A and B are shown apart, each in its own frame.
Chain A
Amino acid sequence: MALTGNTTAADAGPLVAIDSLSVDFDTAGGTVHALRDVSLEVQKGRVLGLVGESGCGKSTLAYSLIGLLADNARVVNGAIRMGDRDLAGLNAAGWRDLRGRRIAMIFQDPMTALNPVLNIGRQMIDIQYRESLSKAEKRARAIEFLGQVQIPDPAARLDVYPHQLSGGMRQRVCIAMALLTRPDLLIADEPTTALDATLEMQIVDLLRELQQRFGCAVLFVSHHLGTVAELCDDVAVMYAGEMVEKGSARQIFHHPQHPYTQALLACDPARIGIATRQLPTIPGSLPDLRRPPVGCAFRARCPQAWGRCASDHPPLYVAQTHHGARCHLLNPEEGKT
């Protein structure tokens, strides 16, 4: 039975429901089908981890949730529902209204995310332009939130420029700015990848703590399964532009169903017990997204592939309640022959 609609753990109901989203990039070398038929829900107040190898479309999905896709991107199909609105059809003004109010984002590289020519205070005050507060009150809020992200001596930091802060401090400033807007959804696209391991742990702990305090939903994109396991309630696994498996963190980490998820976990340095910061590697490489394969996208690298995998595109099968994977092995009516 194919899994449809409300699948993941739904305590509070979905904040955002992505339904069959497909995104193409037009390039000189042809059309890149970067997202194909992706469905996913972000539940209110929960942290959803998005994992997968480099190039599988995590950032594309994250950016499509905040309307910041590149100019050559096209949403060719699908809907992104938030409340009673479909974000996929929003115009520029509609997006601008959501950004920095209901949706905020933290980026991968804190070294370049802040404006180098404006001081921290000015940047934190500018983003509060919607609040009807005096400048002094906005300053006070900025100081309060710098304190929330545990920046020492926050008042003095307002007059400082980004280049005078370390990478970890800058990422804290970015987090403070994102939270300052009190978003319903916080998108974090690999917020710790550019930081070293100790800082990474500090930032992840901080995110966990602040998420609980502010109660916003978080889409946490990461290469690093260890941080995902630590931080996330739910996990979605992407491969070559498709959503191949999704479920609760417990289900994904303890009972992975898709051979790709299993391979990812097997390659995780934390699991194999070697202290390296190498990204997970699985033999073989991603298929060309300009000509996605007909059957299962992972077939060429799958140790368990069989006849049907080449011809039929697998639907999302239910493994357990709120847990599904796109793999023919999960088809209850079909025994492996």
Chain B
Amino acid sequence: MLRYALQRFALSVVIVMVAIAILIVMLHVVPGDPAVMILGPRATPELIAQTRQSMGLDQPLPIQILTFFGNILHGDLGRDVFTNRSVAQIVFEQLPYTLVLISVAILWSAALGIALGCYSALRRNTWLDTLSGILSVGTISIPSFVMALYAVLVFAVWLGWLPSIGAGEGLGGSIIHLILPAFAIGISWVGYVARMVRASMLEVMSYAHVRMARAFGLRERLITTSHILRIAVQPAVTLIGTGVAHLFSAAVFVEVIFARPGIGALIVQSVNERNYPIVLGAVLVTTAIIVLATLISDLVIAWLDPRQREEL
């Protein structure tokens, strides 16, 4: 298991490095000189050349990429074009807001989705199964920003129960401010996860080893957890792991709608200002987290299922 984890981690690092290299090449290929962008149209050619040199843009592309990797190792993601503040600092200031939002959204939606899916599979065709089926299909098709708008309208504007602006102060305030955005991002995942868990539970329930477990008179609860769910939950784990990428894009909209700080809001603002070092840094960190999420979901599956450990 440890060897598997190390191998998978090494692979993840390679994936992130390749992604960064591609990103740099793409920014290079995109028309427009970042130096001109920063200095504005009236800058002198000498000034532009000097800026290009200080930004390392006069170096050949492979050198630029290597320098970038080298800087990353020192925790240096570049500087804000306007304020000259460290990009790493800016990004890591905003990151916790988004991470908390996404984690809370994943946790509540996965927990509820798995529980509902389990219940639906075990108690097929009961009213709760039917209801969860209808709600799942309904919520899966609603984009999270639409959900966020409705959540704001109903719970903040109309009922006035929950705040809709900002991230809140202190622990209590932060929690209250998290409810609506985490609800808006997570709700469609509840249905997704529930349907997926239900379908794979129904499949695994018909496997021969489940009948064998029954033939030994094992308790139904043990059969459900160790013999059925432990296998049936795997597709949902993969779904959630790869879904973190979607959650980040959902967070972009939701942070803007709720005027919350966070990576999403930061990227939107920096793109509007053409502040490319920040865009680059934020996208880099986001990519690393997405790859990390996939890695974690793969490790969870390897922990659940020994057969997966042998494949890499």
Binding site for B on A (CB under 8 A): 66, 68, 95-101, 104-105, 107, 109, 112-119, 126-127, 129-130, 161, 163, 174, 177, 181
Contacts and interface: CB of A to CB of B under 8 A. Distances in A.
Nearest to B306: A161
B226 A99 contact: no
A116 B208 contact: no
A130 B219 CA distance: 11
Given A116-B305, A117-B304, A104 B209 contact: no
Contact of B226 (A95, A101, A115): A115
A117 B217 contact: no
B227 to A, nearest CB: 5
B212 A174 contact: yes
Contacts of B227: 115, 118
B213 interface: yes
Q: With a 10 A CB-CB cut-off, give which of B211, B212, B304, B306 has the most chain A CB atoms.
A: B212
A163 B307 CA distance: 7
Contact of A98 (B208, B217, B222): B217
29 contacts: A66-B215, A68-B211, A68-B214, A95-B217, A96-B217, A97-B217, A99-B214, A99-B216, A99-B217, A101-B217, A107-B215, A109-B208, A112-B207, A112-B209, A113-B208, A115-B212, A115-B227, A116-B231, A116-B305, A117-B231, A117-B306, A117-B307, A118-B226, A126-B216, A126-B218, A127-B216, A130-B217, A161-B306, A163-B307
B94 to A, nearest CB: 40
B217, B230, B231 pick with most chain A CB within 10 angstroms:
B217
Nearest to A177: B216
Contact of B211 (A104, A107, A118): A107
Nearest to A102: B217
Contacts of B213: 115
A66 B214 CA distance: 10
B218 A107 contact: no
Contacts of A163: 306-307
A101 B305 CA distance: 29
B304 A104 contact: no
Given A95-B217, A99-B217, 10 more contacts: A99-B216, A100-B217, A107-B212, A112-B208, A113-B208, A113-B212, A115-B213, A116-B209, A119-B306, A181-B216
Contacts of B209: 112-116
* Top 8 A-B residue pairs of the complex, sorted by shortest distance between their CB atoms: A100-B216, A99-B217, A100-B217, A112-B208, A105-B215, A127-B216, A115-B209, A161-B306
A127 B213 CA distance: 8
A99 B307 contact: no
B304 to A, nearest CB: 6
A129 B230 contact: no
Interface string B220-255: 001000110011000000000000000000000000
A129 B216 CA distance: 10
Interface in B296-312: 304-307
B165 to A, nearest CB: 47
Interface string B182-224: 0000000000000000000000000111011111111100100
Contact of B307 (A107, A112, A161): A161
Contacts of A101: 217
Contacts of A117: 226, 230-231, 304-307
Contacts of B217: 95-101, 130
Nearest to B307: A163
B202 to A, nearest CB: 12
A12 to B, nearest CB: 25
Contacts of A95: 217
Contacts of B231: 116-117
B208 A104 contact: no
B145 to A, nearest CB: 39
**From B215, B222, B230, B305, residue with most partner A Cβ within 10 Å:** B215
Contacts of A68: 211, 214-215
Interface in B45-95: none
Contacts of B218: 100, 126-127, 129
Contacts of A114: 209, 212
A163 to B, nearest CB: 5
A219 B90 CA distance: 73
